[in-house]
């Protein structure tokens, strides 16, 4: 399997985000107001983009958003490889923690990375979320 991880522009993430996460909404729904301030990453398999994620560093902590693997390519370790890479990248930036708004049905996936559920929960667009975080650098 020939895979590589590269940085992407925000617009390169949108179609995959849309296809995987919110296919019934307009494309604009998956564009984030802060997309231009983010650092975006993609995992390529045989020159095809199969997985994306976006990282936003603010006030010393890093939030990753919109982790998505092409639906028919899920379960092959691509999301794990990409998130591991991004956690290392965030750690190299010396942020104190990494966090995300996790879909509640994805918490076990994130727990494998050492992330823990906080008590902060919310619902948006019919989807339940819990904020999960991991302290990655204690200075
Ligand atoms: C969540 C998501 C990004 C994971 O991406 P992925 O590429 O499927 O991730 P992986 O293949 O690394 O891991 C998925 C599962 O396959 C398992 N897996 C990992 N490598 C594997 C391999 N080589 N063979 C078989 N299974 C494997 C993982 O253990 C994981 O199991 P879990 O879901 O029980 O934790 C993907 O399911 C997705 O895009 N979902 C829709 C969008 C979404 O919900 N995003 C997250 C919002 S919080």
pLDDT tens for residues 98-116? 999 999 999 999 999 999 9
- For residue 5, pLDDT over 70 is answered with yes
43 part of a folded domain: yes
Residue 66 C-alpha to ligand 1 middle, in angstroms?
13
- For residue 138, pLDDT over 90 is answered with no
Structure tokens at 110: 């994130």
Quick check: helix, strand or coil at residue 34? coil
Structure tokens at 50: 């199969």
pLDDT digits (tens, 9 = 90+) for 48-59: 999 999 999 999
Contacts (Cβ under 8 Å, ≥6 apart) of 85: 5, 41, 43
Mean of pLDDT values over 122-126: 92
| Number of domains observed in the structure of the chain | 1
116 part of a folded domain: no
pLDDT digits (tens, 9 = 90+) for 78-98: 999 999 999 999 999 999 999
Residue 75 C-alpha to ligand 1 middle, in angstroms?
5
- Domain containing residue 49: CATH number: 3.40.630.30
79 lines ligand 1 (CB under 6 A): yes
Which residue among 18, 53, 75, 101 is best mutated to probe the pocket of ligand 1, counting the most ligand atoms within 8 A of its Cβ?
75
Q: For all residues of the chain together, what is the average pLDDT?
A: 96
77 part of a folded domain: yes
137 part of a folded domain: no
Domain encompassing residue 28: 3-101
Residue identifier of the C-alpha nearest atom 10 of ligand 1: 77
Question: What is the rounded (10 degree) CA torsion for 85, 129, 23, 78?
Answer: 20
């Amino acid at each position: 399997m020939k895979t590589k991880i590269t940085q992407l522009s925000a617009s390169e993430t949108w179609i995959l985000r849309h296809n995987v996460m919110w296919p019934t909404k307009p494309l604009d729904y998956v564009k984030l107001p802060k997309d231009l301030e983010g650092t975006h990453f993609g995992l390529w398999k045989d020159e095809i983009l199969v997985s994306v994620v976006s990282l936003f560093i603010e006030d010393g902590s890093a939030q990753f958003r919109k982790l998505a693997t092409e639906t028919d390519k899920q379960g092959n370790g691509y999301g794990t490889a990409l998130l591991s890479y991004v956690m290392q990248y965030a750690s190299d930036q010396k942020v104190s923690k990494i966090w995300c708004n996790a879909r509640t049905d994805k918490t076990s996936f994130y727990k494998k990375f050492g992330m823990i559920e906080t008590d902060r929960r919310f619902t948006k667009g019919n989807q339940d979320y819990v904020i999960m975080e991991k302290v990655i650098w204690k200075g």
